[in-house]
Structure 1
């Protein structure tokens, strides 16, 4: 299983580095309800297949009620759901295997957009994808 052995964290999305560093993937994702054994197996297989010449890209979406990028939250603390004004936090994630060490680099580029700037159809599709 892959462990988080090093990191620079600028803009956490409801987590803290202190609670994740040194933990395996299953420990990192313990608070995520859908991260069960079957999903953990698929993630491990996916990470194992990454080659230095072929990075992996993925997207992640969350909703918040403010535009701040910095959202640290201690594991187990409740995250309030957006009420009123809503912002979509989009993470473009890149995973790349380093050729000399074989370690997997995980980078996240985060943007936050006012939900009102997204067309109703696109926003509905995002909300559907998040549930």
Structure 2
């Protein structure tokens, strides 16, 4: 059995949507520095990253010309023995399970360096060098719900103090690599997966912050054994506006999912 198919009781008792949280919200809570990264990187995940770094480097790593200092400072915060790739952010990413995005803490808060090997509806080549406000444009209501609050948060965040939030998606399988949004998955809904993302942000220098994303999967069908999680997911979905439904995968996917959840 793959790790993606192992039912995690802890996840379902405390799912990322809680008792029906709005999906697009800031939701950041402070954590201890030693909990910045949840675990060591597994051999399976490290191989996934290395394979993409070796075969699709320009799709998964991007940097701006002025990001060298930010990457070097980060390498002092996160030690790595890797040095085979030209960008330090790529080498650092092989030491932790998370994808890594370096953001300016001030000014336009541009994304200036990133290694993203498990994207969900996210094409790094179209985001690098852009401000957070520009990055949030695909969901027109997102800047109001998250964009402005996260800008203020990064400006005022304490130094070297990580904060955590949980995000989630629904996919037709447990593949990690989705550059573009998908519509309704072709797989039967009984085979769909919840993709959860443990997201942290830490201002590791007055000028730079690190946004890190650790992706995990759970089979959606497991929700039938956790009624509170099922009810919470229905409530969260029913709180979507039309733009959020479009970004989520469209009305067809949204309606099929709600119908399935109500049927359990």
Which TM-score tier does this pair reach, normalised by the shorter chain? 0.7 to 0.9
Aligned to 2:184: 81
Task: Give SS of 2:153's match.
Answer: helix
Deviations 1:24-61 (A, max 9, x none): 01111110132235743222111112222321111111
Aligned to 1:94: 200
Say which one has the larger Rg.
Answer: 2
Matches for 1:95-110 after TM superposition, within 5 Å: 95-99=201-205, 102-110=207-215
Rounded to whole Å, the distance in 1 between the matches of 2:172 and 2:137 is: 25
CA 1:127/1:2 → structure 2, altered by over 3 Å: closer, same or farther? Answer: farther
Comparing 44-53 with 120-129, which one deviates more in the overlay? 120-129
Q: Would the aligned equivalents of 2:136 and 2:143 in 1 still touch at CA under 8 Å?
A: no
Could you state the TM-score of these two structures normalised by the residue count of structure 1?
0.84
Q: Would the aligned equivalents of 1:58 and 1:94 in 2 still touch at CA under 8 Å?
A: yes
In the TM superposition, structure 1's runs of 4+ consecutive aligned residues that sit over 3 Å from their partners are: 36-39
CA 1:90/1:104 → structure 2, altered by over 3 Å: closer, same or farther? Answer: same
Rounded to whole Å, the distance in 2 between the matches of 1:47 and 1:81 is: 35
Matches for 1:1-131 after TM superposition, within 5 Å: 1-37=108-144, 39-73=146-180, 79-82=182-185, 84=189, 85-99=191-205, 102-118=207-223, 119-130=226-237, 131=240
Q: Would the aligned equivalents of 1:69 and 1:112 in 2 still touch at CA under 8 Å?
A: no
Q: Would the aligned equivalents of 2:160 and 2:204 in 1 still touch at CA under 8 Å?
A: no
How much is the aligned-residue C-alpha RMSD, in angstroms? Answer: 1.9
Aligned residues: 126
Structure 2 unmatched runs, 5+: 1-107, 241-264
